[in-house]
């Protein structure tokens, strides 16, 4: 048995203020050159919001998928129904979310590894809705790490 | 440098024109209130009534709006107010400004009147006027959600409700989570133009010039937000309750006299209100890129949500004398849906009840409604009547200044307005800085000049003031330290005339820069702990984003230019010293303050005005002098004013 470090970004949606600073800093920090622009459309985290129902949920970009789901479910939050896609993390052909605007390249949260930084959205989220945690977990040596 | 383009819309003819942004305009006026006022100067002279088809409003985003700068999210709307008939502007928070910046445009000029209801949709490069007949009559929340159904959830919407449609002179335009263009009746202007809403969706990049510099300053700002947070609110809501009690006391000096029993009730209601807030407040909500999150989401009994911020929470409670926070929430919900300014509406309702009590209004005037304090049904009935312009509501909907003159019988005595705008909140003006703020504020609503430092600090112990400087919160020029550390402030914190006038003048520049940059004033010194705490930092931020070299002196010059231009605009509409003087309600001079506090004498106010005008380069009438205008490159203003015989003195 070996251990490896797993990075977690935990979301406490009750603390989300909907400020979207996370979107801004993510898109800015991953821009080329760094910080030369802000565009939530390039962010690897997006905040779903519904002001009328007081729902604010940050969604971190997850794996890419080349086909959309076959079945669709619905999600109830505070008694109101939302489409499942609302909170889905996938970069998926059914929508524009989590794909670079011009190039269509899928976006995925890399916990800011590609820019050699601590997760910046976490750092800039002063409401502490996002928190970061690194956990040592045991892995079986012969199993390749899941993506 | 990255500057956005301009859209020009003529609603009468349905024409939409686009043109490139004007770099010269950016250099001289930056954006927002500056650019807007420059355009307004040409388009809406005194000959054009606020409700004339030629009347034009300008929407312009702050130059930092949508960048990484914390709290930079403002969209400024500049117009001639149908309520005050002078220059007016609204600074809208939320996500409208960032959305506009992302379309690639940063300024939108709207004139004309549409024959049928329409709404404007700016979707990146596609700009269109869409039919809004199906939206007419809907409240602001419904309108927003119907438009989002049509255009998609990403669209940011600013819309009017019934009050705007009916041209209530204090109608607002509402947006998202409790943001609005609140004071001065912008909603009525939209209603008059048959413009039900403005929807914006942008997907483009917002570029900045000097990336590293900007990132460093932003990190520094964020590391200091605890200061501003401390000033704005604390998690338990204690600040709100304490403030509430203080205001309640203030209000007693005001026109709407509260009984001693009511005063007592107010004291006892503090803990109840606090318990209610703790129970009902579900979330702290923020505008774009803001970590201060000063807006609070509350759940109504019917399961809907309403957003409250700052003093708004208490306004319906004061003006109804019903100390039930749940009533306050119900009122806020109603105001938001009708699109009514919370302060002017509260004042107008209270004004009516006050007049009724004094026998100036009778049952015959009120369609049989018996007006009385502490009656929720009466209060709400009046709000409905105002929004719908029914019966007495049709008179009250013109604002207390005009309503008082329509009603006559001495009603004028009980209308408290500054430049025809209902006076916000604090009705005691024995504090120099508040009196002066109210007097010289460009739109009659003093909040933008209500300097915490000038007002609160002088009466604090010297050691505390020294620590304040040491901890880096003091944001005035070094030369102001002598005022700051001077002894001898009275119980109101009043220090020398020169000190107070200097603070006010400097604050006016600072808030003007906040408007131009698009930074919410709560990040400045409004609550005494300025996170963005120096002129140099403001200049640095603007430079980093625009790439234009704007240093401290240039920032000050630009701010001064905008301040004199705004002033000149209103002077051209007839504003003079007397209007400033009368913006401090007369009862300030009539009622005795409680010892050891000292009364503000008319003579003191005159001295404050003299000093303030002098610092700004204005003459004794509060008119920018020819020299002042020339010095600020406002030659076109000087010429126009001379032609109109306003600058006779040429002093
Ligand atoms: S920065 Fe934090 S509080 Fe703001 S939207 Fe993102 S997750 Fe929510
Ligand atoms: S951790 Fe980094 S990459 Fe992931 S969403 Fe946050 S800022 Fe973006
Ligand atoms: S302090 Fe409040 S009003 Fe100002 S930007 Fe932040 S959330 Fe909006």
Mean pLDDT of B124-128: 96
B247 vs B251: CA distance, rounded Å: 6
* Full-model pTM: 0.94
Taking the CA of residue A20 as reference, the ligand 1 atom at the shortest distance is 5
pLDDT confidence of residue B27: 94
Could you tell me if residue A147 is inside a domain?
Answer: no
Q: Is B206 at the interface with chain A, CB within 8 A? A: yes
Q: What is the pLDDT of residues B142-169, one digit of tens each?
A: 999 999 999 998 999 999 999 999 999 9
Taking the CA of residue B232 as reference, the ligand 3 atom at the shortest distance is 1
B80 vs B367: CA distance, rounded Å: 34
B195 vs B110: CA distance, rounded Å: 10
Q: Do B203 and A39 touch (CB under 8 A)?
A: yes
Residue among B516, B431, B406 at smallest CA distance from B64: B516
Could you tell me if residue A1 is inside a domain?
Answer: no
Could you tell me if residue A135 is inside a domain?
Answer: yes
Residue among B537, B540, B544, B504 at smallest CA distance from B523: B537
Which residues of A fall within a CB distance of 8 Å from B207? 36-37
Which residues of A fall within a CB distance of 8 Å from B203? 39, 41, 101
Ligand (nearest to CA of A29): 2
Tokens (6 digits) for B168: 């209530």
Whether A80 shows a pLDDT value over 60: the answer reads yes
pLDDT band of residue B650 (cuts 50, 70, 90) is very low
Q: Which domains, ranges and CATH numbers included, belong to chain B?
A: 5-201 (3.60.9.10), 234-421 (1.10.569.10), 432-643 (1.10.599.10)
Q: Give alpha helix (H) positions in chain A.
A: 21-29, 120-124
Q: Do B290 and A19 touch (CB under 8 A)?
A: yes
pLDDT confidence of residue B322: 85
Q: What is the pLDDT of residues B367-412, one digit of tens each?
A: 999 999 889 999 999 999 999 999 999 999 999 999 999 999 999 9
Q: What is the pLDDT of residues B525-534, one digit of tens each?
A: 777 788 887 8
Say whether the ipTM exceeds 0.90: yes
Best probe of the B interface among A51, A77, A100, by most B CBs < 10 A, is: A51
pLDDT confidence of residue B415: 86
State percent of chain B over pLDDT 90: 66
pLDDT confidence of residue B2: 65
Which domain range does residue A117 map to?
12-139
Q: What is the pLDDT of residues B619-648, one digit of tens each?
A: 999 999 999 999 999 999 999 999 999 986
pLDDT confidence of residue B598: 80
| Cα torsion angle, B178, B183, B189, B191, sign | positive
pLDDT confidence of residue B324: 84
pLDDT band of residue B294 (cuts 50, 70, 90) is confident
Q: Is B154 at the interface with chain A, CB within 8 A? A: no
State percent of chain A over pLDDT 90: 63
Ligand (nearest to CA of B65): 3
A130 vs B233: CA distance, rounded Å: 21
Say whether B552 sits in a helix, a strand or coil: helix
Which residues of A fall within a CB distance of 8 Å from B286? 17-19, 127
CA distances from B293 to A21, B31, B154 (A): 12, 25, 21
Tokens (6 digits) for B112: 């004309």
Ranking B121-125, B257-261, B593-597 by mean pLDDT, the lowest is: B257-261
Q: What is the average pLDDT value for chain B, to the nearest integer?
A: 89
Could you tell me if residue A52 is inside a domain?
Answer: yes
CA-based radius of gyration for chain A: 16
Q: What is the pLDDT of residues B4-47, one digit of tens each?
A: 899 999 999 999 999 999 999 999 999 999 999 999 999 999 99
Nearest CA to ligand 3 atom 7: B286
Q: Do B291 and A36 touch (CB under 8 A)?
A: no
Mean pLDDT of B197-201: 98
A110 Cβ closer than 6 Å to some ligand 2 atom: yes
Burial class (CB in 10 A: 0-12, 13-18, 19+), B7: buried
Q: What is the pLDDT of residues B337-353, one digit of tens each?
A: 999 999 999 989 989 99
Note whether B69 and B78 are within 8 A (CB). Answer: no
pLDDT band of residue B253 (cuts 50, 70, 90) is very low
Domain count, chain A: 1
pLDDT confidence of residue B250: 47
First to last CA, chain B: 39
Ligand (nearest to CA of B522): 3
Residues in chain B: 651
Task: Establish how many alpha carbons lie within 13 A of residue A20's alpha carbon, considering only the half-sphere containing its beta carbon.
Answer: 24
Mean pLDDT of B356-366: 94
The string of DSSP codes covering B87-123 is EEEEEE-TTHHHHHHHHTEEEEEEES--SS-EEEEEE
Residue among B531, B536, B504 at smallest CA distance from B519: B531
Pairs across A and B, CB distance < 8 A: 87
State percent of chain B over pLDDT 70: 92
pLDDT band of residue B236 (cuts 50, 70, 90) is very low
Could you tell me if residue A3 is inside a domain?
Answer: no
* More confidently predicted of B94 and B324: B94
């004061």: which residue's tokens?
B318
Q: What is the pLDDT of residues A25-67, one digit of tens each?
A: 999 999 999 999 999 999 999 999 999 999 999 999 999 998 9
Q: Do A54 and B299 touch (CB under 8 A)?
A: yes
The beta strand positions in B270-406, using DSSP E, are 281-285, 295-299, 305-309
Q: What is the largest CA-CA distance in chain B?
A: 68
């008059």: which residue's tokens?
B192
């Amino acid at each position: 048995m070996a251990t490896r470090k797993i990075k977690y970004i935990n979301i406490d949606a009750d603390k989300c203020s909907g400020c979207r600073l996370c979107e801004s800093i993510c898109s800015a920090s991953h821009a080329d050159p760094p910080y030369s622009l802000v565009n939530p459309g390039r962010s690897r985290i997006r905040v779903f919001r519904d002001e009328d129902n007081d729902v604010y949920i940050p969604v971190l970009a997850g794996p890419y998928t080349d086909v959309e789901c076959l079945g669709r479910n619905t999600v109830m939050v505070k008694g109101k129904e939302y489409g499942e896609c609302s909170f889905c993390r996938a970069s998926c052909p059914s929508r524009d979310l989590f794909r670079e605007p011009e190039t269509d390249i899928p976006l995925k949260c890399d916990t800011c590894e590609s820019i050699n930084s601590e997760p910046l959205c976490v750092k800039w989220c002063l409401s502490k809705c996002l928190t970061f945690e690194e956990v040592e977990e045991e892995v079986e040596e012969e199993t390749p790490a899941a993506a | 440098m990255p500057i956005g383009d301009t859209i020009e819309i003529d609603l009468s003819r349905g024409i939409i024109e686009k043109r490139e942004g004007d770099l010269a305009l950016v250099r001289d006026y930056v954006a927002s209130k500056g650019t807007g006022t420059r355009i307004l100067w040409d388009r809406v002279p005194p000959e054009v009534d606020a409700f004339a088809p030629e009347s034009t409003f300008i929407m312009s985003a702050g130059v930092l709006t949508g960048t990484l700068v914390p709290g930079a999210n403002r969209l400024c709307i500049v117009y001639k107010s149908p309520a005050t008939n002078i220059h007016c502007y609204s600074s809208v928070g939320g996500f409208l400004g960032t959305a506009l910046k992302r379309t690639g445009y940063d300024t939108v000029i709207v004139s004309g009147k549409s024959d049928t209801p329409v709404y404007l949709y700016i979707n990146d490069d596609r700009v269109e006027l869409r039919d809004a007949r199906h939206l007419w009559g809907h409240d602001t929340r419904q309108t927003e959600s119907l438009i989002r159904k049509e255009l998609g959830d990403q669209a940011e919407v600013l819309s009017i409700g019934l009050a705007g449609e009916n041209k209530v002179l204090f109608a607002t335009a509402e947006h998202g989570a409790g943001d609005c263009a609140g004071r001065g009746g912008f909603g009525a202007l939209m209603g008059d133009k048959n413009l039900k809403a403005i929807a914006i969706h942008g997907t483009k990049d917002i570029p900045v010039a000097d990336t590293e510099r900007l990132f460093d300053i932003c990190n520094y700002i964020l590391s200091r937000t605890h200061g501003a947070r401390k000033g704005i609110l604390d998690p338990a809501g204690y600040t709100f309750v304490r403030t509430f009690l203080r205001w309640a006391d203030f209000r007693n000096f005001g026109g709407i006299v509260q009984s001693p029993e009511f005063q007592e009730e107010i004291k006892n209601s503090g803990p109840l209100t606090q318990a209610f807030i703790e129970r009902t407040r579900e979330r702290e909500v923020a505008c774009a890129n803001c970590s201060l999150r000063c807006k609070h989401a509350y759940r109504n009994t019917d399961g809907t949500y309403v957003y409250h911020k700052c003093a708004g929470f208490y306004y319906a409670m004061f003006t109804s004398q019903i100390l039930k926070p749940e009533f306050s929430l119900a009122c806020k919900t109603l105001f938001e849906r009708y699109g009514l300014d919370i302060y002017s509406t509260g004042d107008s309702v209270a004004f009516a009840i006050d007049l009724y009590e004094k026998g100036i209004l009778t049952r015959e005037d009120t369609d049989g409604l018996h007006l009385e304090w502490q009656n929720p049904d009466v209060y709400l009935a009046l709000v409905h009547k105002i929004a719908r312009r029914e019966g007495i509501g049709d008179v009250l909907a013109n604002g207390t200044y005009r309503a008082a003159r329509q009603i006559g019988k001495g009603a004028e005595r009980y209308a408290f307005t500054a430049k025809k705008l209902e006076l916000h909140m604090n009705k005691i003006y024995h504090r120099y800085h508040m009196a002066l703020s109210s007097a010289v504020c460009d739109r009659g609503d003093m909040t933008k000049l209500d300097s915490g430092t000038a007002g609160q600090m002088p009466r604090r112990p010297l050691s505390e003031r020294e620590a304040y400087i040491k901890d880096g919160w003091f944001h005035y020029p070094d030369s102001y330290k002598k005022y700051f550390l001077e002894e001898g402030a009275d119980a109101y914190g009043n220090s020398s005339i020169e000190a107070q006038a200097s603070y006010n003048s400097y604050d006016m520049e600072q808030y003007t820069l906040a408007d131009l940059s698009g930074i919410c004033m709560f990040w400045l010194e409004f609550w005494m702990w300025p996170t963005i705490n120096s002129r140099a930092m403001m200049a640095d931020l603007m430079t980093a984003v625009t790439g234009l070299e704007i240093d401290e002196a240039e920032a000050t010059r630009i701010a001064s230019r905008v301040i004199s231009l705004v002033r000149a605009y209103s002077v051209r509409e007839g504003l003079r010293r007397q209007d400033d003087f009368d913006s401090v309600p007369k009862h300030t001079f009539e009622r005795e303050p409680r010892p050891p506090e000292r009364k503000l004498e008319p003579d003191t106010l005159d001295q404050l005005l003299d000093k303030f005008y002098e610092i700004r380069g204005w003459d004794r009438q509060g008119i920018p002098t020819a020299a002042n205008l020339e010095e600020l490159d406002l030659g076109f203003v000087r010429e126009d004013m001379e032609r109109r015989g306003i600058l006779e003195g040429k002093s």
